[in-house]
Amino acid sequence: MAKPEPETWGEVPGSMEQAAITTRYTFLDYIRSRRFAILLIIMLVISAILTFVFAYKRPVEALVDPLSFYSTWWGMSATFVVALSGIFFGGDAISSEFQNRTGYFVLPNPVRRSSVYVGKFAAALIAASIILVVFTLITVANGVYYFGFTVPFAFWESAFFDWVYLLAVLGFAFLVSSSFKSGAYSILVSAIFLLFAFSLIESLVEDLAGIEPWFVLSYASQIVGNVLDASYPAHVQTIPEMFGAHVITLTVYNVGVGEGLVILLAYFVVTSALGLYLFERKEFN
């Protein structure tokens, strides 16, 4: 059968361009949505609490030098902000297309599902990166207030690692959101994993099984805090601890920087690919 002749309209754009189109409109939707505002407020509240605690309590150990400051402030909060961003922007990115029926508007067009997936991922990444950049700026502003412009290089490393962690978190959240057709379930499941379950699995594996939890996302994310320690912790530490009359040796694993980056990137690649595969196969019914 003959191919349809080209119309007077320009040809359908390439898949990368369509991904960029998806990004533009999804980002517009994110920026206007209430959840962007809510996340921004949560992040500002966390910043305000930290600012207040440092300004009025002046914790001595945290203010001995710039590294301790960044380690305390950023080490306590950076991965949490990333996990929240992942839940907010990725938690129902794909499931909402089914539940809110927006997929019926966009997908019966000459556009591949992969373009929509990649485009939405990029939009979520940009929105979450904005939150992360604002949080970084507030952190540095406080650091500058106490120590002047001597921001330790380790902090920039840590900020970069946190952003790599964001890639992994969004990959994971997109995978979860591709597994459900209900936005509420997918947000709930990614929240449970990113806020509790990964840490729980990590400590169970480490403490009870005594093996290195290299396959757990939260384990890899520790490079964000570790790199801010005065000296990077040893890979394996054995700590004797008293349980009543017994002495038990606990084995503690600390993820190395290279190892952590590899795990985070592997999470990003594997979960993104798996999520896309699920989305491609999912039916609108």
Partner 1 sequence: MSNPSLEAVGLSKRYGTFNAVSDLNLKLEGSKCVGFLGPNGAGKTTTLKIFTDLIRPTGGHAFINGANVHTSKKQALAHVGTVIETPEIYSSLTPREGLSLICAHRGVPKSERRKKIEEVIEEVKMGEWIDKRTGKFSKGMKQRVNIASALLGDPSVLLLDEPTTGLDPRGMSEVRDIVKALKSRNRLIFMSSHLLGEVSEVCDEVAMIDHGKLLVYDTISNVTTKFSKGGDTVEVGLIRPLGAGVLEKSVASIANVTSAERMDDRNLRITFTGGLASQESILSELAKLNIGVVSYRPAISGLEDAYLDLIKETL
Interface characters, 14-53, with partner 1 (x: CB under 8 A): -x--x--x---xx-xx--xx--------------------
Identify the sign of the CA torsion 163, 168, 174, 180. negative
For partner 1, give the closer residue by CB, 51 or 99. Answer: 99
Minimal distance, residue 281 CB to partner 1, in Å: 8
For partner 1, give the closer residue by CB, 99 or 129. Answer: 99
Closest of 11, 38, 13, 40 to residue 24, by C-alpha: 13
Contact set for partner 1, span 106-165 (CB under 8 A): 106-112
The dihedrals phi and psi of 274, each to the nearest 5 degrees, come to -65, -40
For partner 1, give the closer residue by CB, 116 or 132. Answer: 116
Q: Tell me which residue has tokens 């002495």.
A: 247
Q: How far apart are CA 166 and CA 148, in angstroms?
A: 28
When asked if residue 284 is in the footprint of partner 1 (CB under 8 A), the reply is yes
Contact indicator for 263, 255 with CB cutoff of 8 Å? yes
Interface characters, 225-264, with partner 1 (x: CB under 8 A): ----------------------------------------
> What's the CA dihedral at 271, 275, 276, 280 to 10 degrees?
160
Closest of 43, 71, 115, 111 to residue 222, by C-alpha: 71
Figure out which of the listed residues 2, 209, 239, 242 binds partner 1, where binding follows CB under 8 A.
2
When asked if residue 103 is in the footprint of partner 1 (CB under 8 A), the reply is yes
Q: How far apart are CA 70 and CA 159, in angstroms?
A: 11
Binding site for partner 1 (CB under 8 A): 1-5, 7-13, 15, 18, 21, 25-26, 28-29, 32-33, 100-112, 283-285
